[in-house]
Structure 1
Amino acid sequence: MEIGKMTQLNVLDLSHNLLVGGIPPQLANLKVLVDLNLSHSGLSGNIPEEVEKLAYTMKVTQMCDVYSFGVLALEIIKGKHLGEYITVLANSSTMDHHVQLSDFLDERLPYPEDRVNELLVFIIKLASSCLVETPKSRPTMQFISHKLSSMDAYAHPLFL
């Protein structure tokens, strides 16, 4: 079915896929579309003006910066690209759930000692809060910077 004929489609998520080519101009026919995500795809070109305001990737804001920080921080800790795990984190609030450190750590490294473990859990929770799907619900980069700066380095020494 042609995408422009799906007139009742209200959410379109084309992120994290192997699609390449131009963005279909038929997107302009989707009058009830309220959410469009084209991030991390091979699609290129112009988004129809009518739906441009819905795209996650059209406007660079502080909330995009904080999202990028969250992805980068978690990829460094995990030691590889997060792939579809980003979607899981964006759709669930890790801040409200118990973090399983083993799910996030680079498998090639030894499991950290308790004091480093606590620090990593704190950073993972903070970075995960940056991946919330709704940009307005993400913390500001200033908040993240303040939280990281206020960590008591003497209470949690990384190096002895």
Structure 2
Amino acid sequence: MSFNKFYGEISTNWGSCMRISDLRIAGNNITGSLPPEIGNATQLGAIDLSFNGLIDAIPREFGNLTSLVNLNLSKNQLFGKISPKIVLLPGLQKLDLSRNRLSMSIPQTIRLSSKLIHLDCINNQLRQDIPRQLGMLTHLSELDLSRNLLSDEISAQFNKLENLAKINLSHNNLSGLIYETFKDMQGLMEVDISHNKFEGLIPNTTAFQNETKEAFEGNNGLCGNIGGLEPYISSNNILLDSEYKAHVFDFGTAKLLKLDTSNWIAVISTYGYVAPEIAYTIKVMEKCDVYSFGMVAIEVIRGRYPGVSISSLLAPVGMEISVAFRNILDSRLPTPTSGIEDKLADHLQACSRLLIY
């Protein structure tokens, strides 16, 4: 009866049809609430009421449909929470609740839908975190939780979703290190984690490396060899601030160069740290990163960006080293002992020479 011009509300009499196996009335003008009596038709294997105007909550009585394999209630106006009973059906393989107004959290009882292959909840108002129990659905192949209000980090339990081929978590408030979450998902073919708060290195798996930058945009803390992201970041580019929080210092041109050849790239560096000649040429050489390293090293010693006063870092001959350091060292730190002071002076002189290398 799908995709016709039926209208009105669903009759409660469907609950008396004890031998009915399929109920498909998608793509009509059906309105009103879902009758709880449908939960009495325990032989139902498939329900498709998508593309209608159904309202109200999904009756918890649907949890009595122990023979249900496919439940599609997408593209309606259903609201309220997802009843824990609905997602503990042992034979359920496909659950599509997308494009409704469902809220609250994803029930932890979803772990009992052990045969679930397809879960689609896109464009609802689901909140809180993604329950770690979802990572117990080892048969799950497609997962779409995009365009919700989900937050917090994703449990390490997700690494057990070995059969997951397609995942979309875009347009949420999810956070955490993306590498730890997805590093073991070797079967992934499609991924979209855009517009969240993920951080860290992009996993070096086929799905992640083949995606375009649109699949990752909107996450300010991501890095990796993806077009549009900072491609050459490694642990050598990470510095800690006074609270031991990691920051990326992007030298921009850090890469291995083939000797005895010309290497040309576009300027992708952080201005103020890149060698001045990069502003006039796109030829890459070892001097580029030498200059950048010197700038960052001096910033560590001074506690602030060196700015245009690089020449002042070189103490005039005959000047007491303690006098020179008075205007150079980070004033927030204790005055170094004489032994440390001498070593810092040597380092500062060496770093300053790097800037005119």
Please indicate the TM-score interval, normalised by the length of the shorter structure: 0.3 to 0.5
TM-score normalised by structure 2 residue count: 0.20
TM-score normalised by structure 1 residue count: 0.42
Higher strand proportion, which one?
Answer: 2
Higher helix proportion, which one?
Answer: 1
Choose between structure 1 and 2 for higher RCO, CA contacts under 8 A separated by at least 6 residues: 1
